Amino acid sequence: MIQAIIFTVILAAGIYFFARNVGRIRRNILLGKPLDRNDQPAKRWKTMLRVAFGQSKMTVRPIPAFFHFIIYAGFLIINIEILEIMIDGVAGTHRVFSFLGSLYDFLIAGFEVLALLTIVACVVFLARRNILKLKRFWSREMTSWPRSDANIILFTEIVLMTLFLTMNASDQLLQLRGAEHYKVAGAFPVSSLITPLLEGMSTDGLIGLERFCWWGHIIGIIAFLNYLPYSKHFHIIMAFPNTYYSNLKPKGEFTNLESVTQEVKLMLDPSLPPPPPSDTPMRFGAKDVQDLTWKQLMDSYTCTECGRCTSVCPANITGKLLSPRKIMMDTRDRLAEVGSNIDKNGTFKDDGKTLLNDYIKPEELWACTTCNACTEACPVNIDPLSIIIDMRRFLVMEQSEAPAEWNGMFSKIENNQAPWQFSPADRFNWKNEE
């Protein structure tokens, strides 16, 4: 009874804090500019099912895809077990789903196999990061926190799965010994391998171990849930909405700034009526996170820093500063900073910092070839390119800080209608020469 009360309190607190943090992230995302991504719902559901649920873009790299799929399947399926644990915890029951009989045996056996596979996959991933030291996990923006974040996640998952298997092992022995409350239920193909190690323990000792593992497992899960909003691991939730709100247009198509259209139309035809004055000063392009759209901000919370974008970026491959992953990490870091600023001050109080310059340097932005390799590579349809372009727009149109050669190219287009120094009268000369 006391256990049930304690459990209910911990569970409620865990859910409350998680909901509060998710609420803050939601508010941060909505600091972005409006953008309509509610069209074509059927296509959006399909994209989400294919890309997030079906992990279709992971398959480009088969080895991590395989191990990632195991952890993903483990996560989804073991949730059924967590449901049982929660009911047991609140109601004070034990293995409440055991009435399912042979189906229950099958489920428990399946969870055990998945738990073991998850441990194997986590060990493989830890090895790839820390022993093989794959390049994309050690590039410039992978400073100590992003590297630790990944290791904490993998290590926690191993601990959780180990607790789960040890819990089953002790439970299984208690069932065999006919201990009170421990009704015979479940099949234990993996934890049976641990039981021989526990056979020497007293029944009270086993009950202690079973309870310790049960509590450790569920408290670990609640703690892990609350770690998510602070971690790159938040992608396990964000991948779904983020792929739903994917850009469904051709990748080559960039947005046309409507504010610019108004001004250009006025320039070409001064007889048009000027647009009504607006209360907020207009800004072309993006200087800080509030200038980006909510989808670009959502992208930043979805990024799990896998680095596939950076590993295919032609600029990054050839040693330039630009890294699309860093663009996303910087956007999220700055957005989190703006969010805490709002939490502290009620509204955003100017802190003298901006995403541009304080986080992202113009040199990074200039190096992009707009080739879309990053957006193609992202397993959850994040679009770093649109952020790069919006920041270029700010630098070029608001600050007139384009590289000198680009300014030259601009004036050639203005003066002779081509990006090179040629006379417009010579444009059709190609038909003559041979």
Partner 1 sequence: MTLKVRTVQDFISNGESPEILFWVGCASSFDQRAQKITRAIAKILNSCNVSFAVLGTEEVCNGDPAKRAGNEFLFQMQALMNIQTLNGYGITKIVTGCPHCFNTLKNEYPQLGGTYQVIHHSMLLQQLINEGKLKIQGGKFLGKKIVFHDPCYLGRGNDVYEAPRDVIKKLDAELFEAKRHKANALCCGAGGAQIFKESEPGNKEINVERTEEILESKPDYIAVGCPFCITMLSDGVKTLNKEDSVKVLDIAELIEKANDL
Site for partner 1 in 298-357 (CB under 8 A): 312, 314-315, 317-322
Binding of partner 1 by 39 (CB under 8 A)? no
For residues 164, 165, 169, 174, the Cα torsion angle rounded to the nearest 10 degrees is: 10
Structure tokens at 429: 């000369």
Residue 303 or 368: the one with the smaller Cβ distance to partner 1 is 368
Residue 60 or 184: the one with the smaller Cβ distance to partner 1 is 60
Closest CA to 274 of 262, 289, 261: 262
Binding of partner 1 by 135 (CB under 8 A)? no
The least CB distance from residue 25 to partner 1, in Å, is 29
Residue 351 or 363: the one with the smaller Cβ distance to partner 1 is 363
Stretch that binds partner 1, among 80-88, 204-212, 255-263, 328-336 (CB under 8 A): 255-263
Letters for 360-379 (x = contact with partner 1 by CB under 8 A, - = none) are ---x--xxxxxxxx-xxx--
The least CB distance from residue 278 to partner 1, in Å, is 18
Taking each helix axis from N to C end, the angle separating 62-91 and 144-176, rounded to the nearest 10 degrees, works out to: 50
Residue 117 or 313: the one with the smaller Cβ distance to partner 1 is 313
C-alpha 383/C-alpha 250 separation (Å) is 13
The least CB distance from residue 12 to partner 1, in Å, is 47
Residue 152 or 260: the one with the smaller Cβ distance to partner 1 is 260
Residue 99 or 430: the one with the smaller Cβ distance to partner 1 is 430
The least CB distance from residue 410 to partner 1, in Å, is 6
- Binding footprint of partner 1, residue count (CB under 8 A): 72
Residue 2 or 268: the one with the smaller Cβ distance to partner 1 is 268
Residue 79 or 423: the one with the smaller Cβ distance to partner 1 is 423
Residue 295: phi and psi, rounded to 5, are -70, -40
Q: Are 50 and 56 spatial neighbours (Cβ–Cβ below 8 Å)?
A: yes
- The position carrying tokens 């680009």 is 406
Binding of partner 1 by 151 (CB under 8 A)? no
Q: Which of residues 89-108 bind partner 1 (CB under 8 A)?
A: none
The least CB distance from residue 58 to partner 1, in Å, is 14
Structure tokens at 415: 């003066």
**Interface with partner 1 (CB under 8 A), residue from 9, 60, 83, 91:** 60
Residue 180 or 414: the one with the smaller Cβ distance to partner 1 is 414
Letters for 266-305 (x = contact with partner 1 by CB under 8 A, - = none) are -xx---------------xx--------------------
Q: Which of residues 109-128 bind partner 1 (CB under 8 A)?
A: none
Closest CA to 388 of 276, 271, 280, 255: 255
Binding of partner 1 by 63 (CB under 8 A)? no
Distance between first and last Cα of the chain: 94
Name 277's Cβ contacts closer than 8 Å, sequence gap at least 6.
none
Stretch that binds partner 1, among 70-78, 210-218, 236-244, 250-258 (CB under 8 A): 250-258
Stretch that binds partner 1, among 46-54, 137-145, 150-158, 407-415 (CB under 8 A): 407-415
Structure tokens at 366: 């200039």
Between the alpha carbon of residue 77 and those of residues 100, 262, 341, the distances in Å are 17, 53, 39
Binding of partner 1 by 58 (CB under 8 A)? no
Name 119's Cβ contacts closer than 8 Å, sequence gap at least 6.
157, 158, 161, 162
**Interface with partner 1 (CB under 8 A), residue from 12, 83, 272, 413:** 413
**DSSP codes joined into one string, 189-236:** TTGGGTHHHHTTS-HHHHHHHHHHHHHHHHHHHHHHHHHGGGSGGGHH
Residue 293: phi and psi, rounded to 5, are -80, 165
Q: Are 121 and 70 spatial neighbours (Cβ–Cβ below 8 Å)?
A: yes
**What's the angle, vertex CA 288, arms to CA 353 and CA 36, rounded to 5?**
160
